[in-house]
């Protein structure tokens, strides 16, 4: 096979990514990459849902002070 499409090359790239980022960060990186690709595809295709974009985010409870400590 030519190029970087052989299974050996893919396994080698995955091993390098595992060594660089670690086992804990790889799923997080994959999720963020997938989310970014999905947002890009939606923005290019124009298939976003306007009702989702216009709805405000609801918060529960009082806002918490980031410097507040609980004992």
Structural domain boundaries, residue 28: 22-46
Would you say residue 38 lies in a domain? yes
User: Packing angle between helix 25-45 and helix 7-21, nearest 10 degrees?
Assistant: 110
C-alpha 41/C-alpha 48 separation (Å) is 9
| Digit-coded pLDDT (tens) for 1-49 | 566 688 899 899 999 999 999 989 989 999 999 999 999 999 988 765 5
CB 38 within 8 A of CB 29: no
Would you say residue 67 lies in a domain? no
DSSP 64: P
Would you say residue 16 lies in a domain? no
**The pLDDT value given to residue 4:** 65
What is the value of pTM for the model shown? 0.47
């Amino acid at each position: 096979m030519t190029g970087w499409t052989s299974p050996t090359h893919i396994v080698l790239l995955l091993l390098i990514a595992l060594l660089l980022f670690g086992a804990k960060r790889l799923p997080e990186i994959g999720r963020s990459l997938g989310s970014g690709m999905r947002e890009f595809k939606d923005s290019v295709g124009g298939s976003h849902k306007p009702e989702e974009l216009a709805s405000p985010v609801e918060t529960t409870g009082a806002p918490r002070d980031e410097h507040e400590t609980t004992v």
